[in-house]
Each structure stands twice: as structure tokens, then as C-alpha cells.
Structure 1
Amino acid sequence: MLATNVTVPFIEHDPELAHRWPEAKANEWMDKNDWLVGCNFIPSNAINQLEMWQAETFDPFRIDQELSWAADLGFNTARVFLHHLLWQQDPQGFIARIETFLTIAHRNGIRSMLVLFDSVWNPFPKLGTQPAPRHNVHNSGWVQSPGYDVLNDPLQYDSLMQYVKGIVSHFASDERVLIWDLFNEPDNMNLTSYKDDDYAMHKAELSMALLKKTINWVREINPSQPITMAPWKEDWSCDTKLTALDNYMFTHSDIISFHCYDDVKLTEEKIRHLRRFKRPLLCTEYMARPFGSTFQDILPLFKKYKVGAYNWGLVAGKTQTHCPWDSWSTEYQNEPELWFHDIFRENGEAYKPEEVAFLKEITKKKKEKLQKVA
């Protein structure tokens, strides 16, 4: 079905738009799902996507325990990162573990946003035993997908087709999967950590080339779930200020997602800017306490505008995302007094009990509505 505001001649030059959901369908999807509130999830005993999913370290018990804590907060969704190397290593085993995860999440009343590609942190991912965390360094072991060797070589992009098609086709009609996030922060240059500045072309151009292929692969399958992509930091105030990549992501997503770790004033400005696209909005990363991005300030704003909300982090563990971004350049001997991300300690103790009480209160009406329907 063609989007109502797109002409046929334009579609002929931009085939990725041919099967974009119409505005009405996107808004109907958002209404059906009520207010989405959740988190970016990785179990506390995994340092990255590979350790979360590899057969030797996949931990259904820990996942179940931690997702039950999320459900108790009133969360109804989780954003979860996959990785192409896991498919290349063992497609059937990877699918089986995703099935297990989705079963656990669904049992806890949580539907999953699955992320296919990611351009953040370590550009050289490797299967096998993952490194131990660096002392109090934020996300010291997180890995990109694909890594530098593949993203820097467009001739290798088609090797990722079976991963995308294999995963999406298997779960294309699965109601436990809420939405597909095709690419997380595709133009992130990681300048404060790994410094991705050694590409033959600009990373944003390479990522867009892969993203275009990925959209076509997914649209060929035509999953029942919508697709989105994750812009993260540029000026979105008007079309003339958009980067080519951000414009592409906003105009090709069924449901628009974005990242914002700003205070309430700047967050509201971004929401107002993005509403001009007339699509439902999901903020798939927020909540950085030192920046004024807190649950108490930001969630009422998201609820007012009916913006879906996914904070970064649930349980402080091997990712160490309770430590600040500048821990890559500033040494922290002790745990920061003010946590950056995350809600719970590994034993389930709340970092800030008042935050937990607030989350349960702001999601209470949503939970009561769901219970009545059930």
C-alpha cells in the first residue's frame, strides 16, 4: 500500500518508500498499543549483545528474573539488540534463543523491539569469550554490528541479507515482536571512545547504503510489525537542517523513533519538531540523570504527547552504564554517587526507591486497563 502523501513517480526513484505504512495505519498501530513504556534491555551478566545471546552464556533464568522486575514497574516493552555474527555462527541456535527470550518476555507482559544493526562502541566484534569490563567504564565491551571491516566494504553488504531476511521472516507474524529497529545510531562516530574516523567514505554514507538495502530486504518480507530507525543527536528543527541520513530515517520509518538525553525543555522542543512528520513517536533512548533527563521530569512529558518511552538500562551490571559517558576519559575509582543510567542493582535493590515508586504510579492506569481487558 502506498503512503498517501507520496506520488508514484517519486516512488519509482525511491523504492524503499513503496511499502511504507500510511499515516493512518501507523496511528492505528500506536492507538492499539496504548502508551508504550519500557527500557533498553541486556541482562546484568552480559557485557554486550554477543555475551547475551551466545549459547555458552545465554541465561534464561537471569533474563526472566530481571524482566519480572521491569514488569513490576509497569513496563510493557523492551528494546533488545541482536547481532549478525550470531546468525552466521549458528542460525538455528540463534533463532531458538530468540524464541526463548520472546517467550520469557511475553510471560512478563513485555513485547520486544528487535534491533538488527548498531554503529556504537567497539567496531571490531568477535565471537567467543568476551572481555571483562574495564573498571567503571561505561559500556566498555559493547560491539557494533556490522563492524568496521564489513561496513567499510560495501561489497560485503549483501552477505548480511540472509541474517536480515532469516530473522525477520521467522518472526514476521509473531505478536511478541512489537516493531523492528533496523539500525541504531548509524552515523555515530564514537569520537569519545573508539574514534571511527578511518572509513574510506564517511560513515554516514556507508550506513545509509546498508540501510537502503536493509529496508528493501525487510519490505520484501512485509512483516506484520512496523519498522523504525534511530537518529540520535542532530538538529531536527526544520527540513533544511536535517542531515541526509536523518531525513532518510524520518521519511522512511513507519513509526518515527529518536534518542534524546536532554532536559525536559529541550526534549519537548524535539518532540514538537518531530510531530511535523505526522507519525507516532518513540523515544528509544533517554534518561541520563546528570543531564536532567530523569523519569520524574521526562515521563510526564512523554505521556502528555503519547510518545513511547525506552530508557537506557535496567540493571547495573557488566555494561556499567550506571557510569557516565566521560568515564572513557576520566578515571572513576568508585561507583558514581549519581548514576548515569540503570534502575536496579544486580540483587534487585532499587538505586532510587523514589524512582521505582514514581514509575509504578505513572504506569498504574495503563496496568489497570490491561488487567480489565484481560
Structure 2
Amino acid sequence: MRIFTWLLLTVISGALMAQTVANDSVPVPGQWSKERIQAWYDQQPWLVGCNYYPATAINQIDMWQAETWDPDRIDLELGWAADMGMNTLRVFLHDLVWENDRKGLLERMDQFLNICQRHGIRPWFVFFDDCHFPNPQLGEQPLPVVGYHNSGWVNCPARDVANRYAQEEATRKERKRLKGYVQTTMRRFKDDDRVLMWELYNEPGQAGIKDASQRLVYDSWVWARAVNPSQPITSCTAGSVGETNIQINALNSDLHSVHAYGDADHLRKRVKPYIESGRPVMVTEWLARDRKSTVAEILPVLKELNMGAVNWGFVSGESGTVWNWGTRRAPAGGKRNVEEERAAGNVVNPGEDFPEPEIWFHDLLRMDGTPYDAEEIALFRKLTGAER
């Protein structure tokens, strides 16, 4: 009888989950009330920061695996961040690092949080990401391709795993890994005041996946709410691809994580429906200078609207995000083949200077800490109150 009951409950539970994934009007229990999240937000300073990885890392794996972990460089760069008034960071993790060395990853996260705390910064962590290259691998990461935007950033989880998960064909080990990655990490820091909040998924549906991500998007909410951290939880909405992906995240987020890469008018239109939801808004990606998303244009508006201001990039380095998105396209059409270019030697070798365009796309500082535009840094300091 017990076995029959368990089987029946399992079938019902699975059916309800499938229905909920398809029906974006059914939230996962546990969302903070509007009153609670607004009270939390009102206790924070104006949240200003960047999407952070050290200039010596080409991707999330490079930042966090033991072989390339660089706390001295991180400490140096976060000193620069604090000096211009930054008080938060959006930081990406990777499931392969967790699977290979979970104890070490959690220890490095603890060390990172201590560095942040010394500089008066409270970061948050992002678990999943559908952007850019599909086949992440541990170990030595590829060299940056010259003049190419983000030539090493990788999906999390790998594209083939994400696709199998969407089709309910992921192995038991893969499902267990993804759930454990979210839950053990959150449990370790669920009551840690050094952590500002959590973000479950960056831009689900990118790279042609679209709403195929919805099952992992939804399950990440189930896993996170089961942990019930003391910090609020969000997951990217505007900036994602796939109507269901966006609606699941908009429905369940305690506060909104929105991406806006355009001028001030574009920003105001982009955030309007999220403001009207009655929940705080964090603009967690902005700054694309040749799209009129500039420090001078956008930062004052974010201050006026009391929205979190978290631009893409900080110190120009291996990611190459000073180059715009168009550099990923080949002159004759299609995408540039980074593996062929690496094989041909079109790379920035260790110790070489990083080339830069006349107009930077993302990022604020060079490797030595000098600014791309001193007036931008002065405006950060003025608006954050760090001006001396």
C-alpha cells in the first residue's frame, strides 16, 4: 500500500509540475510579499555595481576553479570598485566547478565574500546562463581571440545538458548535479549577511534555446524556494528569450532583474511594466556605448528612479567586452569561428597588451586601473557619494 501511495503521489506531483511549467500563472510558493521586499529594498543603500569577474579570467570557470583562482587580483580590482562607490556585484558561478570541487568552490566563495566585505561590497551570485559558447570544460581555458566580444564565455549548464533537461532526457546524475549545485550552495550562505541576494538564471532562452529552457527555469525556482534563504531571490526577465521563460521569472521574482542596452528613453520604457508590478527593480545589465547606453546617459536616470545600477563589465581584460557584439560576426556573414582563429594564432597571448577599440562597448577601467573615460568615474563617485 505504501509503495502504491508513493507511486501515485509521484505521478501526481510530476503532472502538476508539468502543468505549472506550461501555466505561467501558477507561482512557486514562497515569494516574498510586495511589502516585505519593498521594506528590504528600502533598507539598502542605492545599489551600484557591475557584473564582475577579474580581468585575468575569460569566463566563470576561469574565475572559480582552483588552478586559476586569483584572490590578489580580485582584491586589487575591488579596491578600485569601492573607490568609485560600488557597493554590490553580480557574479556568475558554474556547475562544473561545483561538481568537480564543491568544497573548494564554497571555500573560494567564502574567501571572495571576505574580500568584498573588506571593501564594503555585498555581491550576489548567478547560477545558470544560456549565453555564448555551448561546451564548457574544466581545466585550461582558451586564449582570447583578438577583437572578439566575449570569446570564452560559456553556457551553464552545457548546451547538450540543457537540451536533454528540456526534453526530460537528462540523466539522474545530471539532474542531481544541477539541483545539488543550487541547493548546497544556497544552504551554505542562506543566512550570510555578506550575500545581498540570489539570481537563478541569466537570460534563459538565448542562443536559440528559447522556451526550451522553461523546465530548468521553473525547477530552479522549486529548488531555491525549498532552501528558503534569508536573502531575496530573482531571475532575469527582460533580456531573456521565450515568453514562458520571462513570465515564470516575472511571476516568481521577489524583485526584478532587467537588462536594458539603450538610451534613457529605451530604459524608461523597458522598466515601466516592472515598476508597475509594485516590486523593486534592479537593472542588472546596461552600458553599451555605441547604443547610447552610456554612463552619462543612464546612471543619473537609475539614480532618479532608485533602481539598482549594475553595468556589464569592470576591468577590460580577457573577456574582450570592450568590443561590441557585432565583432562576433564574420565580414562575409555568419559568425566568426573562434577555434579556427585560435588555431591561426589570432589570439592575445599571456603578457601581451589587450587591444582596444576607439569607443569601448562595455567596461570602465584598464588592467592598470586607469579609466577609459575619467569623467565616467567622476560621475560614479559624484552620484554614489564617493566623491572626494
Q: Which amino acid aligns with 2:288?
A: A
What residue number does 1:32 align with?
43
What residue number does 2:9 align with?
none
What residue number does 1:358 align with?
379
Do 2:149 and 2:320's aligned partners in 1 also have CA atoms closer than 8 Å? Answer: yes
The equivalent position to 2:201 in structure 1, one of 171, 183, 207, is: 183
Q: Which amino acid aligns with 1:186?
A: P
- For 1:294 and 1:148, the matched residues in 2 are separated by 32
What residue number does 1:336 align with?
357
The equivalent position to 1:141 in structure 2, one of 152, 155, 163, is: 152
- For 1:297 and 1:204, the matched residues in 2 are separated by 31
Do 1:16 and 1:216's aligned partners in 2 also have CA atoms closer than 8 Å? Answer: no
What residue number does 2:57 align with?
46
What residue number does 1:296 align with?
296
Deviations 1:300-340 (A, max 9, x none): 11111111010001000000101111111257996210000
What residue number does 1:192 align with?
none
- For 1:94 and 1:278, the matched residues in 2 are separated by 36
Q: CA deviation at 1:113?
A: 1.4
Determine if the alignment matches structure 1 residue 213 to structure 2 residue 219: yes
Q: CA deviation at 1:231?
A: 2.4
Determine if the alignment matches structure 1 residue 117 to structure 2 residue 128: yes
The equivalent position to 1:170 in structure 2, one of 178, 188, 191, is: 188
- For 2:378 and 2:77, the matched residues in 1 are separated by 17
- For 1:97 and 1:136, the matched residues in 2 are separated by 31
Do 2:133 and 2:155's aligned partners in 1 also have CA atoms closer than 8 Å? Answer: yes
The equivalent position to 2:143 in structure 1, one of 132, 138, 142, is: 132
What residue number does 1:200 align with?
none
**Could you tell me the TM-score, scaled by structure 1's length?**
0.86
- For 2:304 and 2:26, the matched residues in 1 are separated by 35
Show the 5 A alignment for 1:310-325: 310-325=310-325
Three-state SS of the structure 1 residue aligned to 2:68 is coil
- For 2:26 and 2:328, the matched residues in 1 are separated by 41
- For 1:146 and 1:234, the matched residues in 2 are separated by 16
- For 1:231 and 1:164, the matched residues in 2 are separated by 19
Q: CA deviation at 1:140?
A: 0.2
Q: Aligned-residue CA RMSD in angstroms?
A: 2.1
Q: CA deviation at 1:34?
A: 2.4
- For 2:95 and 2:370, the matched residues in 1 are separated by 34
- For 1:173 and 1:299, the matched residues in 2 are separated by 31
Show the 5 A alignment for 1:252-267: 252-267=252-267
Do 2:211 and 2:243's aligned partners in 1 also have CA atoms closer than 8 Å? Answer: no
Q: Which amino acid aligns with 1:40?
A: N
Q: CA deviation at 1:212?
A: 1.3
Three-state SS of the structure 1 residue aligned to 2:293 is coil
- For 1:226 and 1:297, the matched residues in 2 are separated by 29
Q: Which amino acid aligns with 1:45?
A: T
The equivalent position to 2:109 in structure 1, one of 80, 92, 98, is: 98
The equivalent position to 2:237 in structure 1, one of 209, 231, 242, is: 231
Show the 5 A alignment for 1:188-199: 188-189=206-207, 196=208
Give structure 2 stretches of 5+ with no counterpart: 1-18, 337-345, 347-354
Q: Which amino acid aligns with 1:175?
A: D
What residue number does 1:238 align with?
none
- For 2:225 and 2:240, the matched residues in 1 are separated by 27
- For 1:54 and 1:234, the matched residues in 2 are separated by 27
- For 1:98 and 1:138, the matched residues in 2 are separated by 27
- For 1:337 and 1:113, the matched residues in 2 are separated by 32
Q: CA deviation at 1:207?
A: 1.4
- For 1:159 and 1:153, the matched residues in 2 are separated by 14
Against the structure 1 CA distance between its residues 269 and 81, is the aligned structure 2 distance closer, same or farther, given a 3 Å change threshold?
same
Deviations 1:146-186 (A, max 9, x none): 01121011234343111111100000001111111100000
Q: Which amino acid aligns with 1:62?
A: R
Q: Which moved more, 1:76-85 or 1:207-216?
A: 207-216
Count of residue correspondences: 338
Give structure 1 stretches of 5+ with no counterpart: 1-9, 190-195, 197-202, 236-241, 369-374
The structure with more radius of gyration: 2
- For 1:104 and 1:33, the matched residues in 2 are separated by 20
Q: Which moved more, 1:153-162 or 1:27-36?
A: 153-162
Three-state SS of the structure 2 residue aligned to 1:39 is strand
Determine if the alignment matches structure 1 residue 75 to structure 2 residue 86: yes
Q: CA deviation at 1:15?
A: 6.9
- For 2:221 and 2:176, the matched residues in 1 are separated by 13
Three-state SS of the structure 1 residue aligned to 2:358 is coil
What residue number does 1:372 align with?
none
Deviations 1:239-261 (A, max 9, x none): xxx92221221111001111000
Identity over the aligned pairs, expressed in percent? 41
Do 1:157 and 1:210's aligned partners in 2 also have CA atoms closer than 8 Å? Answer: no
Do 1:85 and 1:127's aligned partners in 2 also have CA atoms closer than 8 Å? Answer: yes
Do 2:99 and 2:177's aligned partners in 1 also have CA atoms closer than 8 Å? Answer: no
**Could you tell me the TM-score, scaled by structure 2's length?**
0.83
- For 1:277 and 1:83, the matched residues in 2 are separated by 31
- For 1:217 and 1:335, the matched residues in 2 are separated by 42
Three-state SS of the structure 2 residue aligned to 1:230 is coil
Show the 5 A alignment for 1:269-280: 269-280=269-280
- For 2:303 and 2:192, the matched residues in 1 are separated by 27
Three-state SS of the structure 2 residue aligned to 1:316 is coil
Three-state SS of the structure 2 residue aligned to 1:300 is helix
